[in-house]
A = this chain, B = another copy of it.
Amino acid sequence: MEENPIRIRGLTVEEYLDRVRNFHGYLAPGVVSGGFMVELACRRLPEGRLYDAISETGACLPDAIQLLTPCTIGNGWLRVLETGRFALAIYDKETGRGARAALDPGRLSAWPAVKAWALKLQAKSERDEAAILAGILAAETGLYKVEPVTVDKSRLTKMDRIFICPACGESYRAHREGRCGFCSGEVPLYTAADTPDEE
């Protein structure tokens, strides 16, 4: 590491860790891992193209992507499509071709603290946070596999119509008319007691 310290999308590791602290709130091992994963995936991609991103988990990785690429949840260039795997893909908006980086459980044996964290072998209270972070930083890009993928863009449909829900009166986006996700009962977010009361 002395001669050519690794860069994470052009940032020093310290600069990246500062961004993680500011945005994510603390130095979560998963977001630090994610930095190396984004770097690995991006190295495989030709420059000068427009890329979208997928996080296969809602945990930590979306923040690494949001910190290091133009893709955010709100601009739609990043999607969380939960397979549960600790993996991310960055792919050409147009062709769907890209690179996927994933934690490789087979590479964890040299890093017992990282392994215990990644596979949740310990209760949170028993974790050695410093050893986990030190292991992830020392391993650099060594814990992850990278592979070419083609994203099936036909699966990524956009809901581009807006309707007014006849039950709550609010506008909502959907593929077809009906009720919004709350009033239809599909996404029962709030308890019944206070939702009908409008101020």
Contact surface of A with B, Cβ cutoff 8 Å: 23-25, 28, 30-31, 34, 54, 56-64, 66, 70, 72-77, 79-87, 89, 96, 100, 102-106, 118-120, 145-152, 155, 159-162, 164-165, 168-174, 180-182, 186-191, 193-195, 197-199
* Chain B residues within an 8 Å CB radius of A118: 162, 171
- Cβ of A34: which chain B residues have Cβ within 8 Å of it? 74
Contact of A188 among B77, B155, B159, B174 (CB under 8 A): B155
Contact B189 A83 (CB under 8 A): yes
27 contacts between A and B (CB under 8 A): A23-B66, A24-B75, A25-B77, A54-B189, A56-B181, A61-B74, A62-B72, A62-B73, A63-B75, A81-B187, A83-B182, A83-B186, A83-B189, A84-B173, A84-B174, A84-B180, A84-B181, A87-B170, A100-B190, A103-B171, A118-B171, A145-B198, A145-B199, A147-B195, A147-B199, A148-B199, A150-B190
Once A24-B75, A73-B80, A160-B120 are accepted as A-B contacts, the answer to whether A148 and B182 lie under 8 Å apart by CB is: no
The smallest beta-carbon distance between A118 and chain B, in angstroms, is 6
Number of copies of chain A assembled together: 2
